[in-house]
Amino acid sequence: LAKTTQPISMDSYEGQEVNITCSHNNIATNDYITWYQQFPSQGPRFIIQGYKTKVTNEVASLFIPADRKSSTLSLPRVSLSDTAVYYCLVGDEDSNYQLIWGAGTKLIIKP
Amino acid sequence: SQTIHQWPATLVQPVGSPLSLECTVEGTSNPNLYWYRQAAGRGLQLLFYSVGIGQISSEVPQNLSASRPQDRQFILSSKKLLLSDSGFYLCAWSVNGGGSYEQYFGPGTRLTVT
């Protein structure tokens, strides 16, 4: 099964840009990279998804290099409310439905 | 718009008792459906997924089972709960196919087995 690797935790301050990187060496050719945000006692919430290069929406940017073996979630000008756990999700090359979740990165934003 | 419902929100059950958690989706048809479990402070563990009525795939051997009696209904069951079944259970749906894993999650059920 494919594995993903993320930092366990990160700290930053309000107003800063935060970058969280996920490694996924066995990503499937046709699969996308998806990032989620989760607050305590809630289900994860979709943030952004991409296949290659760069994707940007109103919340975040996602940078994916040409080999697609990693991805970086970029959160611009974070606030205290961005304190959450962030997960990256990729497909597995052996099965379309083997959904491999990273262990998640606990992001703490300080005032 | 699409919505996903889960109930109950919290549940306390004794060891050995049965379990039934229900999830329903509104506003979409033929979704992929998923059951996840999350232990305290841990990531999500995929338990079951379904691509259609009566089609269930299990990811982790355990004393849990899932059923999909209707297109937008997904049920998680157990005949006899174990202490290790405690956790946060999440149901999710996604559009069928395409390699895209944009999933939409329900509010979850906090299960405590005593």
Alpha-carbon gap, residue A62 to B2, rounded angstroms? 25
Q: What's the pLDDT score for residue B1?
A: 85
Mean pLDDT of B77-87: 95
The token duo for B66 is 């899932």
The string of DSSP letters for A47-100 reads EEEESSEEEE-SS-EEEE-TT-SEEEEEESS--GGG-EEEEEEEEETTEEEEEE
Mean pLDDT of A92-105: 64
| Yes or no, beta carbons of B43 and A30 under 8 Å apart | no
Q: Is A81 on the interface with B (CB under 8 A)?
A: no
Query: Could you tell me whether strands A9-13 and A105-110 are parallel, antiparallel, or unpaired per DSSP bridges?
Result: parallel
Say how many CB pairs under 8 Å bridge A and B.
Answer: 60
Least confident range from A4-13, A20-29, A44-53, A58-67: namely: A20-29
Residue B62 has pLDDT above 90, yes or no: no
Q: What's the pLDDT score for residue A111?
A: 95
B26: Cβ–Cβ under 8 A, 6 or more apart, which residues?
Answer: B2, B3, B4, B5, B72
Residue B97 has pLDDT above 60, yes or no: yes
Q: What's the pLDDT score for residue A97?
A: 55
Q: Which residues on chain B are in Cβ contact (under 8 Å) with A96? A: 99
Considering CB atoms only, which of B46, B49, B105 is closest to A44? B105
H or E element, residue B98: none
Q: Is B46 on the interface with A (CB under 8 A)?
A: yes
| Yes or no, beta carbons of B100 and A34 under 8 Å apart | yes
Q: What's the pLDDT score for residue A103?
A: 75
Output DSSP code: residue A46: E
Per the CB < 8 A criterion, the answer to whether A32 and A50 are in contact is: yes
Residue B110 has pLDDT above 70, yes or no: yes
pLDDT digits (tens, 9 = 90+) for B35-55: 999 988 888 888 998 989 988
Determine the distance from the C-alpha atom of residue A58 to the mean position of all C-alpha atoms in its chain, rounded to a whole number. Answer: 15
Residue B83 has pLDDT above 60, yes or no: yes
Give the position of tokens 């269930």: B56
A40: Cβ–Cβ under 8 A, 6 or more apart, which residues?
Answer: none
Mean pLDDT of A67-81: 96
Decide: helix, strand or coil at residue B76.
Answer: strand
Residue A93 has pLDDT above 60, yes or no: no
Q: What's the pLDDT score for residue B98?
A: 57
| Yes or no, beta carbons of B34 and A99 under 8 Å apart | yes
